[in-house]
Chains A and B, each alone.
Chain A
Amino acid sequence: MKLQLNIWRQENKDSKGAIKNYKLNEVDEDMSFLEMMDILNEDLIHKGEEPVVFEHDCREGICGTCGMVVDGRPHGKEHGTTVCQLHMRKFNDGDKITIEPFRAKGFPIIRDLAVDRSAYDRIMQAGGFISQNIGSAQDANALPISKNVADLAMDAASCIGCGACAAACPNGSAMLFVSAKASQLNLLPQGQPEKAARARAMVRQMESEGFGGCSNYYECEASCPKNVSVNFIAKLNRDYLCATFKEGT
């Protein structure tokens, strides 16, 4: 099939970007979106032009490296998929597709569609861990955890940290990511001792990285490739407010 691609091209963080038009004439419907991008880049290299920079790694939808905004939706219009798992059969012959980088103050653009998401790493360093003395692991059944809680913690842990939540949010807020990463520990007994400190440290790091606050748009949930629920944001709010009431601001 034939496609017209409108792709955001930007030299670096400080330069001014713009949409550039490209045409692809032989796109197979069984290709993934990123394979289509590969074909485009091969074309551009043959013509002696700069290929479009985008990030990718596993191409199986589990690593969280890829991510671009397709027609205004991070990872494209399909629900619960990363852009690498989006297939060209979801598009029609002659479609015009606009491809942009993730946009948020916390994600400065590196080049074209690649953005710097190291802010998420620093949020994890602020509280996305538990502190435990080393030694042999205790017996698995020594800590009883109900099935419901284990399932919920697993749902939170399914976040792959791709950044689509902050890209989708009209406020550029990373609350869905922060809440998933805080909740996967705060729900479980191992996370309890540092629960209050974790909630506060991770939210504060998010604030200092330039991400906005949550206005309950729920746009993040709609874009999340792992369907992480906004209920975790409510839980993070609760943990944060409890910590504030106990310890002051």
Chain B
Amino acid sequence: MFKYLNHLVVSKFVMAVTGIIILLFVTGHAIGNLQIFIGKEALNAYAAFLQGLGEILWIIRIVLIIALLLHIITSIYLKLYNNGARPDKYVVTSYVKAKLNSRTMIWTGIMIAAFLGYHILHFTVGSIQPENYNQEEIYTKNAYSVGMGMNAHIANPEEHRGSVLNKVVYERHDVYKMVILGFRNPYVSGLYILGMILLGFHLSHALQSFFQTLGMAGPRFSPFIRTFSNWYGTITAIVFLIVPLAILLGFIGGNV
């Protein structure tokens, strides 16, 4: 399966394709996060929708896990191979076009992978700050529009009897509260902000690299895509960053 590693251009192709899959997911994730600014209802409904995807969610997860593993394995192999191709270092080093982001891809990549592990334990598995993770939200929907959902169950039906007319009471994971409580910790927020700066830095080289590796380059396109790539990394980082920043500064989440 890993025979492709013997061919440098094919390895680069694997890096580009797996990278763009992760980049597209990251972009969707960044945009999805913004719903926290709309409010509790929007974010929790979005989270419940994603959880409700069932098999589709697992297909997406498996594709992402495979892409990530291939991306990491190939990058480490290429880095070691390429270091071996330049065994003796120059006494004086001077770079013109190799900017810091391209020269630190492996290091930002490793740090992002470590951050990803923390992030999954924090918000997906819930083993970091479990007290924030185990939050449930009781909400209601009009019975005539939704009906009695198969997955819905009535919490404390006795309490609601008579008071809730034509409504069904549901329970769902309170992502909004979990995020707000989590990011109120300045150390947690700081770690996320740092992780997202590294991610943006990584993406600023990654996107244009995808096009170059796949052979899309030209005298007008290449300068454009390199500038675009820098902006893409910067904006992605900012879109991610504003969530912990807004919570830390108290702009959102006052009602939790």
Contacts and interface: CB of A to CB of B under 8 A. Distances in A.
Interface of A: 6, 8, 19, 69, 71-73, 77, 98, 100, 103-106, 169-173, 203-204, 207, 210-219, 221-223, 229-231, 233-241, 244, 249
Nearest to A232: B217
Given A230-B212, A234-B215, A214 B98 contact: no
B8 A207 contact: yes
B161 interface: no
B213 A212 contact: no
B85 A219 contact: no
Interface of B: 3-4, 7-13, 78, 81-98, 102-103, 105, 205, 208-209, 211-219, 222
Nearest to A19: B91
Given A216-B102, A216-B205, A249-B4, A211 B85 contact: yes
Contacts of B13: 237, 241
23 contacts: A8-B91, A100-B91, A105-B84, A105-B87, A170-B103, A172-B86, A173-B82, A203-B9, A212-B85, A213-B82, A214-B8, A215-B82, A215-B209, A216-B209, A217-B103, A218-B97, A218-B102, A221-B97, A222-B97, A234-B213, A237-B212, A240-B9, A241-B13
Contacts of A210: 85
Given A216-B209, A241-B13, A73 B96 contact: yes
A72 B94 contact: yes
B96 A219 contact: yes
Nearest to A207: B8
Contacts of A229: 219
A170 B9 contact: no
A105 B205 contact: no
Nearest to B210: A216
Nearest to A235: B215
A243 to B, nearest CB: 10
Contacts of B84: 105, 212
Given A71-B92, A203-B9, A104 B85 contact: yes
Contacts, number: 142
Contact of B85 (A6, A19, A71, A105): A105
Contact of A249 (B3, B97, B211, B217): B3
Nearest to A217: B98
A105 B92 CA distance: 18
B82 A172 contact: yes
A103 B86 contact: yes
Nearest to A233: B212
Contacts of B11: 213
A120 B11 CA distance: 23
Nearest to A239: B215
Contacts of A235: 215, 217
Given A105-B86, A229-B219, 8 more contacts: A170-B98, A173-B85, A203-B7, A214-B8, A216-B209, A230-B212, A240-B9, A249-B4
Contacts of B3: 249
Contact of A219 (B92, B98, B213, B219): B98
B85 A72 contact: no
Given A104-B86, A237-B9, A217 B213 contact: no
A-B residue pairs, 9 tightest by C-beta: A238-B215, A212-B85, A72-B94, A234-B217, A213-B8, A171-B82, A222-B96, A172-B86, A217-B98
B214 A249 contact: no
Contacts of A237: 9, 12-13, 212-215
B212 A170 contact: no
Given A171-B85, A211-B85, A241-B215, A203 B102 contact: no
Nearest to B88: A103
A69 B94 CA distance: 10
Contacts of B95: 217, 219
